[in-house]
A and B are shown apart, each in its own frame.
Chain A
Amino acid sequence: MKTELTHKCIQGTLLAALLFNCGTGRDTADKAASFPRAKTFYMGGMQCGAPNTFNPLNDLPAFPVGAPMNLMYEPLMVFNTLRGSMDPLLAKSYEITGGAVRVVLEPRARWSDNTPVTGADVKFSYEIGKRFKESRLANIWNFVSDITFDSVLATDGTSRLCRVHFIMNKERNNPLQILDYFQEVHIVPAHVIEPLLTQSNNDFSAFLKNHDFDQNPVVSGPYNLSNFSAEKIVLKRRDDYWGNAVYHQNRLARPEYFISSIFKSNDHYSIALQQGNLDVSQTFIPRIWLKKKKKVGTWFAQEPFYPPGSIPMLCVNVTRHPLGDKRLRRAMAAAINYNDISELAVSGYSPPLKPGLILPFGVEQKYYSEEDAVKYGAVCNPGRAKEILKEAGYVSEFDGQGNLLRMKDPAGDIVPTIFVKSPVGWTDWEIIVRIAVQGMRAVGIDARESFMDAGLYNQNLQVGDFDLLLFTPSGSSTPSKPWSRFQATLSSRTWKPIGDKMNENQGRYNNPSGPDYLPAIDSLLEIIPSLPENEKLAAYRKLNVIYMQEQPTIPLVYRPEFFYEFSTRHWKRFPTEKDPYAPPQCLCIGAGTNALWEIEPVDGQE
């Protein structure tokens, strides 16, 4: 018996050792086996699951190749979500002139193989969308009709600078959208990628399967890929990064290694952050104030802890009776308890909700009008909701305990139950929906939750198969906000009937061939991007007033664009509201990356 047991143990151990060999032989690119803590920066929450590819032309590549991360590949400019400015990166500056947006390239920008970043690289990167219809960049060519570049004499009179001209499509004169692309589209090295495209016979999907980018890719950013596995992605600092001299007074980024740790659930990111095994995390951690004693900090020291960046809202399918009735929609907006949503569903990480589609703080504040909000907006007021319903002719019947039995429309017909769709398992969203339903039922609107498979949910959203549905239109903070939020919510530009897929205005509001069509909405959406700054406020106010009066969707709460929480166990001087030298963009996005040059190791070692 004993010998058999020993035998089995040995067998097991051997097997285990053997299997580890198979598992580890695959992805070792760098022989360095360990990373000194004082020189290593750990971040989590930007990469879910094992890395798929580091090909910069893939739609959803692994961290940090995807937009808007700029550690390896860089965009022309970066968006500073604090100041609302476009900060220079590969391009020094931009100007919008009649019919074109021009950028001047930074002449000192270099690829990691020491070749300069040129106008040809910029043209090549954007023209990927013209050459390959299946590329995500194809959409750019709806707004840009041509890209050219030339060289001009610099102000010093001797050196020459490269200017790139983005000629705007005359039918869609939209510089805002082009600015969005400036900070989103990564410039890739034409001299590396063009041969690879030729190698795959210009077959884009064959090119996307190319593994050449997994080792020593040619990049322009401050870090490069060193090693990756299903558990982490390791980036090593490039000490010859061109930007050190141009933007950082010849200093190096402080962390020598930048590691993106991949865990299997939000709880693990939370524990790792509290134990100091992560320095920054981009994950939802409930009741973050309790983690303060574990040296975990956030942008704001108090509520709402995170700066708001997007608005989850109920999309209303106006083609479903009686949801086409704006009085009902306004009654819904007045029935929901937004404070409960903020406190119970999102841990208080939301300032009080104001009516309308413009964020009343930060970069968008200049377009917000408190006066209009008070005059036209719906706020939580169940009594008012009941009045609106009564005035509109809706009748609700309750049982003895105050439970809603049925609701009748003004014609006296029973209103079929209105279902609110939301993906199952997104717990914060589920609570938001429950609170919204509770509020609506209390005033007599027959609403119910409907949690469903996420794939089906997305399909239902696009084809318009829903009554109400929780979604976040255009959730990222980009230079085109709040215009792009309005566009995603209200635009009838690509209007399609129910059953066909729409990627904006999925509630089919404002049917261009319907009797109640409001042309003002589409024309405002069309002209705002090209208006001079001093005329934008009036146009935005007009649009927001129409939105508040019509209530085509029902905003519920504010959410941060990125959760940004940091641990001060190993690094200090993270950007915060009190020390806002860089925006809260997790030290790897947009202008937030600059913080990598400013943080300091806690133990003072270099």
Chain B
Amino acid sequence: MLKQYPALRYVLTRGMWYLITFFVAVTLNFLLPQLGASNPVDLLMAKVSTGLDSKAAQEKEEAYLKEFRLVEIDAAGNLLRTADGKPVRTPLIKQFRNYLQMCLHGDLGTSFLNYPKKVTDIIFAALPWTLALQIPTILLGWIIGNLLGTLAAYRRGVFDRVVFPASLLISAIPSFAFGMLLVYQFAISFEIFPAMGGYAGDLIPTFSGAFFSSVAYHYVLPFLSIFLICAGGQAIGVRSMCIYELGTDYVRYAKWLGIKENKILLYLFRNAMLPQLTGLALSLGAMIGGALITEMIFSYPGLGTAVLTAIQGNDYPLIQGCTLLITTSVLLANFSVDILIGFLDPRVRAGHGNQ
């Protein structure tokens, strides 16, 4: 089937696998948080129940269970009860069905801990900050790192002797430690950059020069904390790839033929780049989870802390919303790189065509 359209066939098979992966991931997203013994309503109750006696606390708890559809109700909206008067818990499979139904309507539910806020509201308020910090930083780090690494491998000499150890050093520093060092040095000791926040405390987000320049000013340290480490890591990876490629027959042959250096460098770059592309896809996909540490250190607005507090507070709907987002972005990023590599690298396409 579709033998005559290998490219389409390639895209479709990959797509099907990703769809299956997506479904498994959604099921796991739903199940994993619920497997623990604790219950988000218990956490809510701990805050709400101070000063209530046991009976009032029980009524309050049942109202929450009902609100979050964790217990069964009859047609009149009353709780169904077991023989000993306890509310009947909604079976997991039914909760899963409700969850899927809501997801299909684009409704990720109401957060438990931020009740009555919608999960989608929380995510959409925080996501722009995460994306605006992570995407340019990762892309720039990737591009600059790869350029430096390729140059270092090709030029060798002094350039390599500086770039390689520097990259090795920087990429070996854990990102949280690097971030904290930056804050300590530039925000606390020298006080030249702000220690926290996405914009100055005396501003509110508006379309104004003051706001955007404040955002840019607050961008510097978080940007550096991700960019340098990302670039360093990329440089090391691509350098070794290039050195390997430099030893291959096609490069030696090209040199013997007297082909221009820049042209050889381009061939080299294209070949060394393939595994790096996969790496880029992975880091773009994982950026929402990875944003957590940067956001914590710089108290930067974004989704990372929403994920963390949701997990700490067993806020199932918020956890599920965030993991759904992470799953989708990892899968999408991988899928696009798969397709991209298919087109960039004739070997991959050919391999699939022969299956």
Interface set of A (CB-CB < 8 Å, partner B): 1, 5, 8-9, 12-13, 15-16, 19-24, 26-28, 30-35, 37, 40, 42, 49-50, 52-53, 55, 58-60, 133-134, 136, 138-139, 142, 180, 184, 205, 208-209, 227, 229-232, 234, 259, 261, 263-265, 268, 271-272, 275, 277, 425, 453-456, 458-459, 462, 474-476, 484, 493-494, 496, 501-504
Contacts of A501 in B (CB 8 A): 54, 57-58, 61
Whether B336 is near chain A, meaning CB under 8 Å from some CB there, is: no
Q: How far apart are A102's CB and chain B's nearest CB, in angstroms?
A: 23
Residue tally, chain B, CB below 8 Å to A: 83
- Cα–Cα distance between A9 and B40 once the two chains are bound (Å): 43
A481 to B210, CA, bound (A): 50
A458 contacts B117, C-beta separation under 8 Å: no
* The one of A15, A24, A503 that contacts B207, using a Cβ cutoff of 8 Å: A24
CA distance A205 to B68 in the complex (A): 11
Query: Are A261 and B201 in contact (CB-based, < 8 A)?
Result: yes
Whether A229 contacts B204 by the Cβ 8 Å rule is: yes
Given contacts A28-B204, A40-B202, A264-B295, contact A272 B54 (CB under 8 A): no
Which of the residues A26, A139, A268, A453 comes within 8 Å of B52, measured between beta carbons? A139
Q: Judging by beta carbons under 8 Å apart, are A474 and B51 in contact?
A: yes
> Contact between B116 and A476 (Cβ–Cβ < 8 Å)?
no
| Beta-carbon contact of A52 and B51 below 8 Å | no
Instruction: Specify which chain B residues have a CB less than 8 angstroms from the CB of A15 in the assembled complex.
Output: 131-132, 135-136
Query: Whole-angstrom distance between the alpha carbons of A180 and B215 in the complex?
Result: 45
User: Distance (Å) between the CB of B84 and the closest chain A CB?
Assistant: 9
Asked whether A23 lies within 8 Å of B201 as measured between CB atoms, the reply is no
8 A Cβ contacts from B247-306 to A: 266, 269, 295-296, 299-301, 305-306
Interface string of B61-99 (1 = CB under 8 A from A): 111000100000000000000000000000000000000
Q: Does B155 contact A (CB under 8 A)?
A: no
A55 to B67, CA, bound (A): 17
Q: Does B161 contact A (CB under 8 A)?
A: no
Is B327 part of the contact surface with A, judged by Cβ < 8 Å? no
Instruction: Given A20-B128, A229-B204, A230-B301, decide whether A136 and B114 contact each other with a Cβ distance below 8 A.
Output: no
Bound CA span A22–B198, Å: 15
With known contacts A33-B210, A264-B299, A456-B37, A230–B51 Cβ distance under 8 A: no
Checking A16, A275, A459 against B136 with a beta-carbon cut-off of 8 angstroms, the contacting residue is A16
Among residues of B, the one whose C-beta sits closest to the C-beta of A480 is B51
Give Cα distance in the complex from A234 to B204, angstroms. Answer: 9
The answer to whether A19 and B128 touch across the interface, beta carbons within 8 angstroms, is: yes
B18 at the A/B interface (Cβ < 8 Å)?
A: no
Q: Which of B131, B266, B295 has the most CB of A within 10 A?
A: B131
Say yes or no for B313: interface residue by CB 8 A criterion.
Answer: yes
Selecting from B20-28, B118-126, B345-353, the interface stretch reads B118-126
Kindly state whether residue B45 has any CB partner on chain A within 8 Å. yes
B4 to chain A, nearest CB (A): 33
Listed from nearest, the 6 A-B pairs whose CB atoms lie closest are: A134-B63, A455-B38, A24-B205, A23-B128, A12-B136, A456-B38
Q: Looking across the interface, which residue of chain B has its beta carbon closest to that of A473?
A: B50
Residues of B within 8 Å of A28, CB to CB, are 204-206
In the complex, the answer to whether B114 meets A50 with C-beta atoms within 8 Å is yes
Cα distance A352–B50 in the bound complex, in angstroms: 27
Given A1-B147, A20-B212, A49-B113; 10 other pairs, CB 8 A cutoff: A19-B129, A22-B124, A30-B204, A53-B115, A59-B44, A139-B56, A232-B204, A263-B299, A453-B38, A476-B50
Q: Which of the residues A142, A229, A271 comes within 8 Å of B195, measured between beta carbons? A: A271
Determine the chain B residues whose CB is within 8 A of the CB of A209 once the complex forms.
110, 116
B49 near A503 with CB under 8 A, answer: yes
A-B contact pairs, 6 of them (CB 8 A): A24-B206, A58-B115, A230-B125, A264-B299, A272-B196, A456-B38
A19 CB → nearest B CB, Å: 4
Contact indicator A503/B202 (Cβ below 8 Å):
no
A residues in contact with B215, CB < 8 Å: 20
Most-contacted residue by chain A among B210, B266, B305 (CB, 10 A): B305
Contact assessment for B54 and A503 in the assembled complex, using a CB-CB cutoff below 8 Å: yes
Determine if B135 and A16 form an interchain contact, defined as CB atoms under 8 angstroms apart. yes
Q: How far is the CA of A208 from the CA of B114 in the complex (A)?
A: 12
Chain B 302-321 per-residue mask, 1 if CB under 8 angstroms from chain A, else 0: 00011001001110000000
> Is B332 interfacial (CB-CB < 8 Å)?
no
* Least CB distance, B210 to chain A, in whole angstroms: 6
Q: Are B38 and A60 in contact (CB under 8 A)?
A: no
Contacts of A134 in B (CB 8 A): 59-60, 62-63
What is the bound-complex CA distance between A367 and B309, given in angstroms? 41
- B residues near A8, Cβ cutoff 8 Å: 139, 143
